[in-house]
Structure 1
Amino acid sequence: MQEIKQLIEAGKLQDAISHCQAILKKQPLETDIRSAYIELLCVNGELDKADKQINLLLSQAPDTAIGGKNVQQLIRAQQSRVDFSQGGATAEVFSDVDAELKAIVALQVAIKDQNNADVVSLCAALESARYQSSPTQPRDLDDSLAGYLEVLGTNGKFYLVKFSQISVLEWQAPTSILEQVWRRVHIDIINGASGDAFIPLTYLNSQSDAEKLGRETDWQAISQAAENEQSMYQGVGHKMLLIGESAQQLAYFTRDLDVQETDVDTSPQAALV
């Protein structure tokens, strides 16, 4: 386990995965190594493989059932996150359908279809709707997310939560490899749910080890700008927020506010747990 931790500290995700595979090939009943392997697969985006490894782990070590089932729920939530980004599954929300929600849903399809004109117009519509409803709130620097925070529920559901809907956000110290990337939080939604959930700290399109581990951030254009237009960008690596005039890593954003209930429409549509 020490070598796995050292590899992760060095930012060598693929080497850590290969190390686990080599050990498990010789010692398939090493439950600690298999548990670490499962978490590394999740970080690497190999969700189906991780899910199958959990089933194998549960058959070998039934006492890991609670932890294994919890990770499987997060895998389901993460898969829904992936599906949503590809224009598939619908995210859970805590508000009625509005211009902001319509824009972000349509935008995922436009990005998938590489429809440049729609990407530009929908990114603009998403930001305009966010600014009109909550101009002083933080926003993700990723133009495909803008005023939304992605949340993985412990119930296996994927949520899109507006920053303006969050009254409390408290990060918990990571206790595992996976929690370095899917961080446990306590979150309170104004007029809505309250409880523990997990927030992905990295963007979905992350490719390199450093990006998947949240060690760096970069940007990829998702539209080709016409004259007098700005290109739209999606992030890779650690998520970045714009708070006022300053850029800040998502992991450093906290909130504990007394927000008036009239500031935002937050009819509770779902629970986080």
Structure 2
Amino acid sequence: MQDVSRLIADGELDAALQQTQQHIRQNPADPKSRILLFQLYCVQGLWDKALNQLNVLRDLDASTLLMVSTYEQVLLCEALRKDVFAARKTPLIFGEPPAWLALLLEALMRESSGDFQQAVQLRTQALQQAPATAGALDGTPFEWIADADSRLGPVLEAIVNGRYYWVPFIQISKIQLEKPTDLRDLVWIPAQFTWINGGEASGLIPCRYPGSEMASDARIRLSRLTEWNEVADGVMHGTGQRLLATDVDDYALLDVRTIEFNPAAGLE
């Protein structure tokens, strides 16, 4: 499967997918190849096919059961995530929902109906009302942090305990992100969260902005690039790898290892 690794490195995802499928037709009981196929389906946003591979792996190799149970829930979260950004559903909110977060959700609804001007106004209000959260990113202090995509701003998308959340940064004390080691880590990066109440949880952060899996550019699908699309006057949507903005600099999510917050500063 070395050729597949080279194809992925070169961004030839369709060819990598075809070669992996061919290998599995010849070696249907090879769990490593099926894990790779599952991951390729995830990169391509073929969620149903990815789920089918997990079902096969469950019966094929007991050592994959933890991975299977984890990512079954993650795939269901992706369906909900799509509906959230299309304003068909609302996300779970971690902690007590602040008033400004309702404005962000209302902005999604306005945008989905084509009222982009009102969506911009609502997001501007939300960003003005949301408290700044100071801290340090990999040791570099910042006075505030936000997702660079204004649809989210002071909110982090996260999958915790198999459920999709919007987590206000003011609810977080610390995030430790693992270094990507596998193809699926370019879709959802494992993270350890410490909440302001002292509780801890393991979870996953979606690496890519919604819809990135549909991009023609493999660099977008592989979280190697971030681009901004102007969907209306003054309305920019991110595609590709998530970008975190601070008063100091912008940071690609997969380059970040630790974010430590000073929650008290955000609650003043």
1:153-168 alignment, distance < 5 Å: 153=160, 155-168=161-174
Relative to the length of structure 1, the TM-score reads 0.84
Contact kept, 8 Å, 1:120 with 1:223, in 2: the verdict is no
Matched to 1:223, the amino acid is: A
Task: For 2:202 and 2:105, locate their aligned partners in 1 and report how far apart those are by CA, in whole Å.
Answer: 25
Matches within 5 A, 1:64-75: 64-75=64-75
Report if aligned partners of 2:133, 2:263 keep a CA contact under 8 Å in 1: no
- CA 1:18–1:118 in structure 2 vs 1: closer, same or farther (change >3 Å)? farther
Q: Note if contact 2:132-2:145 (Cα within 8 Å) is conserved in structure 1.
A: no
Identity %: 25
Any conservation in 1 of the 2:170–2:263 contact (CA below 8 Å)?
no
Instruction: Say if 2:173 is the partner of 1:170.
Output: no
Which segment is superposed worse, 215-224 or 51-60? Answer: 51-60
> Which residue of structure 1 lines up, in the alignment, with residue 159 of structure 2?
152
Q: Is the 8 A contact 2:190 2:203 kept in 1?
A: yes
Q: How does 1:111-260 map to 2 (within 5 A)?
A: 111-130=111-130, 132=131, 134=133, 136-153=143-160, 155-191=161-197, 193-206=199-212, 207=215, 208-224=217-233, 231-253=234-256, 254-257=258-261, 259-260=263-264
Q: Displacement, 1:114?
A: 2.5
Superposed displacement of residue 134, structure 1: 4.6
CA distance in 1, matches of 2:112, 2:199: 31
Q: CA deviation at 1:141?
A: 1.4
Do the aligned partners of 1:214 and 1:238 also contact (CA within 8 Å) in 2?
A: yes
1:176 offset after TM fit, Å? 2.0
Structure 1's 256 and 133: CA in aligned 2 closer, same or farther, altered over 3 A? Answer: closer
What is the deviation of 1:245? 4.0
Q: Which moved more, 1:135-144 or 1:182-191?
A: 135-144
The residue type equivalent to 1:212 in the other structure is R
2:94 maps to which residue?
94
Residue identity matched to 1:71: Y
Gaps of 5+ in 2: 135-142
Equivalent position of 1:270 in the other structure = none
Measure how far apart 1:192 and its partner are. 6.2
**Structure 1 stretches lacking a partner, 5+ long:** 225-230, 266-273
After superposition, the C-alpha distances for 1:85-120 in whole angstroms (9 at most, x for unaligned) are 121333222232333211221222223222222322
Q: CA deviation at 1:29?
A: 2.2
Q: List per-residue Cα deviations over 1:219-273 (Å, max 9, x = no partner).
A: 011322xxxxxx121101111122114222122342234543x7439xxxxxxxx
* SS of equivalent to 2:193: strand
Instruction: Identify, as 1 or 2, the structure richer in strand.
Output: 2
- Report the equivalent of 2:53: 53
TM-score by length of 2: 0.86
2-structure distance, mates of 1:156, 1:205 = 21
Higher deviation after alignment, 113-122 or 36-45: 113-122
**Match in the other structure for 2:138:** none
Q: Specify the SS of the correspondent of 1:222.
A: strand
Structure 1 residue matching 2:223: 3-state secondary structure: coil
Q: How has the CA–CA distance of structure 1 residues 23 and 94 changed in structure 2, closer, same or farther, with 3 Å as cutoff?
A: same
**d(CA) in 2 for partners of 1:218 and 1:258?**
30
Whole-angstrom distance in 2 between the partners of 1:128 and 1:182: 30
Q: CA RMSD in A?
A: 2.2
Taking a change above 3 Å as real, the CA distance of residues 112 and 16 of structure 1, as seen in their structure-2 partners, is: farther
How many residue pairs are counted as aligned between the two chains?
A: 256
